[in-house]
A = this chain, B = another copy of it.
Amino acid sequence: MAETRQWRLESRPVGEPTHENFDLVTVERPEPGPGEVLVKTVYQSVDPYMRGRMRDAESYAEPWAVGEPMKAGVVGEVLESNADEFEPGDVVTGELLWAEHAVADADELRTVDPDLGPISTALGVLGMPGVTAYWGLHDIGDPTPGDTVVVSAAAGAVGSVVGQLARLNGARVVGTAGSDEKTAWLTDELGFDAAVNYTETDDLGDAMAAACPDGVDVYFDNVGGPITDAVWPLLNDHSRVAVCGQISLYNATEVPTGPRKLATLIETRARVEGFLVSDYEDRWGEALERLSRFIRADELHYREHVVDGFENAPDAFLGLFEGENIGKQLVRVADYDGDSSVQNGS
């Protein structure tokens, strides 16, 4: 029988995840049952939120079980279909497995249109990170022209879209990132008004204040920790903080502590709100339609950092916490012939 490979959770990490937490196993390739589809993975996503799934704690999502294959956003090709909606050769995306092949119910999959762009974008700018950026910025951050918008992890899959959308909205945009290569990309290619390399400042608070002379009206927070501490004192009256992620804290082994922040909200009447892209399920299409229009108009640029080979998926995941990626971090698991050429992968 045909075989496939899966990455399973070998053990729960304490602090920073390591290769020890992952186990590559070869198993029989599953066969689709009635209404199911067999998908060959072409690209697998790795995302910061996955660190939470490795934890044995109640969260908005079930934790991954030790000894079981992990889940991931996947773009792949349909190999076999027992569902009317799909036929072999279709490109689909969905929440599948860290696996070379997986079966899924037809209603767990969306069709990917290869004419909209490289199919990998269904995991990035035209997928979960893009939709996260779109609704988090517009629904929670709600920038108006002239506002100063700060986004942390601005060179990441979500942050890079947030900043460009905010600019399209008429805001002044400041990003934080962890290398000069990243900040150069933000200002030179994505049109950010300013970018701060937080690894190179003497005083992050001063650096942020200098980059935001009119204070901060919207803070899109992907990072938390000291970067957020530096932005907080700059919040303007009636400013909005959209809490999307806190990657700087995900590997903490003790409860992270820091300056207490709530008193600032009284003076400023600022609003701080967390959100999950899953709450925007019924507005997903609206975001994709707008994002793809911006891409076609060359107003929205993106990058992908592709790690080749399924066996390197843990490396790609661990790299997120090292800040190795510019743009969307992906694993290329198999070749795909349908992409005409990389479009706008600036």
Which of B257, B262, B267, B276 has a CB less than 8 Å from the CB of A272?
A: B262
On chain A, the number of residues with a Cβ less than 8 Å from chain B's Cβ atoms is 34
Q: Is the CB–CB distance between B265 and A269 below 8 Å? A: no
Select from chain B the residue with minimum beta-carbon distance to A270: B274
Q: Which B residues are CB-close (under 8 A) to A258?
A: 257-258, 260
With known contacts A257-B257, A260-B258, A262-B246, A267–B225 Cβ distance under 8 A: no
Number of chain copies forming the complex: 2
Q: Is the CB–CB distance between B269 and A276 below 8 Å? A: yes
**Interface membership of A221, Cβ < 8 A:** yes
Q: Which B residues are CB-close (under 8 A) to A213?
A: none
Q: Is the CB–CB distance between A262 and B221 below 8 Å? A: yes
| Assembly CA distance A224 to B264 (angstroms) | 12
Q: Is the CB–CB distance between A274 and B249 below 8 Å? A: no
With known contacts A257-B257, A271-B271, A266–B276 Cβ distance under 8 A: yes
Q: Is the CB–CB distance between B255 and A274 below 8 Å? A: no
Q: Is the CB–CB distance between B273 and A249 below 8 Å? A: no
| Assembly CA distance A270 to B241 (angstroms) | 12
Q: Is the CB–CB distance between A273 and B279 below 8 Å? A: no
Which of B256, B264, B266, B274 has a CB less than 8 Å from the CB of A265?
A: B274
| Assembly CA distance A257 to B259 (angstroms) | 4
**Interface membership of A159, Cβ < 8 A:** no
Counting from the closest, the 4 A-B pairs by CB-CB distance are: A265-B274, A266-B274, A272-B272, A271-B273
Chain A to chain B contacts (Cβ below 8 Å), 23 pairs:
A60-B266, A224-B263, A228-B262, A243-B263, A244-B266, A246-B266, A249-B260, A249-B263, A255-B259, A255-B260, A256-B259, A256-B260, A257-B260, A258-B260, A264-B274, A265-B273, A265-B274, A266-B274, A269-B273, A269-B275, A271-B271, A272-B272, A272-B273
Given contacts A244-B266, A255-B259, 9 further A-B contacts (CB under 8 A): A221-B262, A225-B260, A243-B266, A249-B263, A257-B257, A267-B276, A269-B276, A269-B279, A270-B273
Q: Which residues of A contact B (CB under 8 A)?
A: 59-60, 221, 224-225, 228, 243-246, 249, 255-276, 279
